[in-house]
Amino acid sequence: MQTPPMPPDEAARLAALRGLHLLDSAPEARFDRITRTACRLFGVPTALVSLVDQDRQWFKSRQGLEATETPRDISFCGHTILAEETLVVPDALGDPRFVDNPLVTGPPHIRFYAGQPLLGPGGHRVGTLCLLDSVPHAFDDADRAALRELATWVDRELTFQALVPWMEGPGAVMAFVSTLSHELRTPMTAIKGALGLLAGGAGGELPEAARDLTLTALKHANRLVQLVNDLQDLEKAESGRMAFDLRDLRLLPLLTQALEGARASHGSTLFNLEPVDEALASARVRMDEGRLLQVLGLLLDHAAAASPRGAAIRVGLRLDEGRLGVTVAHVGFESATAFRETLFQRFAQTAAPGARPRGSVGLDLSLARTLGEQMGAVLGVDSEPGATVLHLTLPASAR
Amino acid sequence: MADPIRILVVEDEPDIRTLLQLCLVQVGGFSVELCASGRDALARLSGLAPDLILMDVMMPDQDGPATLRALRARGNQTPVVFLTAKARPEEMAEWKAGGALGVIAKPFDPMALPDEIRGLWAARST
């Protein structure tokens, strides 16, 4: 008897197999209907979806066989996964590899075997779709072609299973996003660092045109960094892993600080703070200071990105039914109503008609809303004639 | 004029290491030595005797916090500043409690980094 050798990709193959999360799982109709079809089509009593694990082959689907697994070293399928082609053994008694195999000499007394490798992620041969009988069979090219077709069907079911975790709700997607954002940080550190040093003159004096180009690249590198930061914050906030230090804070000084930041990045004349009466000027909210500044900054950034270049943005403090709020009004849609829902979707483009879309405004509102909600604030949008008004209603302080 | 602050940079990414050197030497005027791992740093530390260690947090084999613990276990009190791409507030608090002088987030602004380090250096309690 010949023990099947290990394929050269064994480690990666096992990783691909385990990544499917199918080993030792319950039987599933989506596989059983394929093995049933195979038995009928080829006139054999036994058809298996066999997954070749480290030391065993385990059957995800089996017709006509009691055993749920057999040792790999006496398996036929261990041989099948060594090559792309179908392995056909018309009569095991005539094949020196299998003639004294315990599965041949004892139950289930295999005489006929045909197995087609199954392809898992990365093209690794993770198992087989195989047919068994206790009497010899002929198996011609048309039979081989039909078995390949059924195996392709199984491949699709395997891959579908592998995709499910990514499709199972936003949690898994956001976890992926978090990993990705983290991976992006090293290259971004290198890019931002190199460009910053170049622009700062650490690489020697640059000709004017080269300096301009460097500054443009640096500006966009910074935007990329911001986007990744926002993504990570969004993931953190949505998964409830973000800690908020809620304190009683005076709102006006924080709004003023956020406006200073926005003016520094978008231009000093863009934002007008409407007059604030005395009662409101001393009003307090209960928020996390850093995160409130972040939310206000996101709203101001969004307004700047979504309105035509140079159009004024009005910022105000309001008392609305006893609740303190910040409003940010910018030139916008004729009606915000239709956009109200899509506005908070990630990466939604919300540029006003005639406004030049200035880069992605994608995550601003989504993140502002998520962060705000975690602190008990509510972000909404309304329209006034010719303007879109974002309003953030804040939880009042206990005092 | 006082001697420049001697900084030992511990960073596993070669490009980031080079950038840090350029930034700290050319922009900051510091004296800089480079190590590619925490183990390398621990092995060479007594010979180098830096004033401050600027160390990446996530490194294969032995990470920044583990290297800091090993350092302190040997009785070495050199101030350590962490560079990290993964700065959750609770982790930053933990690292500071573990004896880090400061934590600087990646990506850092290379033109501002020297002043940031100078600020941490000036604020150290020793």
Q: How many residues does chain A have?
A: 399
- Chain B positions with Cβ closer than 8 Å to A: 13, 15-16, 19-20, 22-23, 26-27, 85-86, 88-90, 106-111
A-chain residues near B110 (CB < 8 A): 192-193, 196-197, 200, 202
Partner residue opposite A202 with nearest CB, options B23, B90, B107:
B23
Partner residue opposite B110 with nearest CB, options A185, A196, A236:
A196
Nearest Cα residue in chain A from B90: A243
- Whether residues B89 and A243 touch (CB distance < 8 A) is answered with yes
How close, in Å, is residue B61 to chain A by CA atoms? 18
ipTM > 0.85 for the complex: no
Nearest Cα residue in chain A from B83: A189
Interchain CB contact of A190 with B (< 8 Å): yes
- Average pLDDT over every residue of B37-43: 93
Partner residue opposite B107 with nearest CB, options A182, A189, A197:
A189
Confidence of residue B124 (pLDDT cuts 50, 70, 90): confident
How close, in Å, is residue B100 to chain A by CA atoms? 21
**Dist. CA A47–CA A69, nearest whole Å:** 14
pLDDT tens for B71-106 read 999 999 999 999 987 666 667 777 877 789 999 988
**Dist. CA A244–CA A222, nearest whole Å:** 26
The pLDDT value given to residue A337: 52
If we measure between CA atoms, which residue out of A54, A45, A111 comes closest to residue A81? Answer: A54
Nearest Cα residue in chain A from B86: A182
Digitized pLDDT (tens) for each residue of chain A, 399 residues in all: 789 999 999 999 998 898 888 888 888 888 999 999 999 999 999 999 999 999 999 999 999 999 999 999 999 999 999 999 999 999 999 999 999 999 999 999 999 999 999 998 888 999 999 999 999 999 999 999 999 999 999 998 887 754 444 444 556 666 777 778 778 888 899 999 999 999 998 888 999 999 999 998 998 898 888 888 888 888 888 777 788 889 999 999 999 999 999 998 888 888 999 998 888 888 999 999 999 999 999 999 888 888 887 888 999 998 877 789 999 998 865 444 555 555 565 555 444 444 444 444 567 888 898 899 989 999 988 877 778 888 999 988 765
The pLDDT value given to residue B9: 97
CA distances from A84 to A35, A60, A119 (A): 20, 21, 9
- Whether residues A200 and B90 touch (CB distance < 8 A) is answered with no
Asked whether the CA dihedral A51, A57, A59, A65 is positive or negative, the reply is positive
The pLDDT value given to residue A350: 47
This prediction's pTM: 0.55
A-chain residues near B107 (CB < 8 A): 185, 188-189, 191-193, 225
Average pLDDT of chain B, as a whole number: 89
Interchain CB contact of A83 with B (< 8 Å): no
**Dist. CA A203–CA B78, nearest whole Å:** 31
pLDDT higher than 80, residue B69: yes
Residue type, A158: L
